[in-house]
Amino acid sequence: KQEVTQIPAALSVPEGENLVLNCSFTDSAIYNLQWFRQDPGKGLTSLLLIQSSQREQTSGRLNASLDKSSGRSTLYIAASQPGDSATYLCAVNTGNQFYFGTGTSLTVIP
């Protein structure tokens, strides 16, 4: 069974800092990997989708990378802002099922 891990569970950084969030998975046979943002009391908002044949995807200040062989994905946030404070989750799609990490709670301090 695929297992998805996100470490650390919580992260606090000063505004303006560049940061990296990590997502690891145990089985490299994936269809795609997706990063989400979740604000308190809200649903999950899709940030970036990386197909298994891709190495990275970029959207604005966000860049996600995928290394299937090592079972790792990273979400890079450049020049962090207080509005980036949220929980970030990654999800692995095996083609049959989605497996979710438990998220990293990010706080950006003004």
Residue ranges that bind other proteins, judged by CB under 8 A: 31-32, 34, 36, 41-46, 49, 51, 89, 91, 93, 95, 97-98, 100-103
- Residue 18 or 97 with smaller CB distance to other proteins: 97
CB of 34 to other proteins, least distance (A): 6
Identity of the residue, 76 or 100, whose beta carbon is nearer to other proteins in the bound complex:
100
Taking the complex as a whole, the smallest distance from the CB of residue 3 to other proteins amounts, in Å, to 11
**What phi and psi values does residue 71 have, to the nearest 5 degrees?**
70, 40
Q: Which is nearer to other proteins, 80 or 87 (CB)?
A: 87
Distance, CA of 110 to CA of 107 (rounded, Å): 10
Helix (H, G, I), strand (E, B) or coil at 9: coil
- Strands 10-14 and 104-109, how do they pair? parallel
SS3 state of residue 83: helix
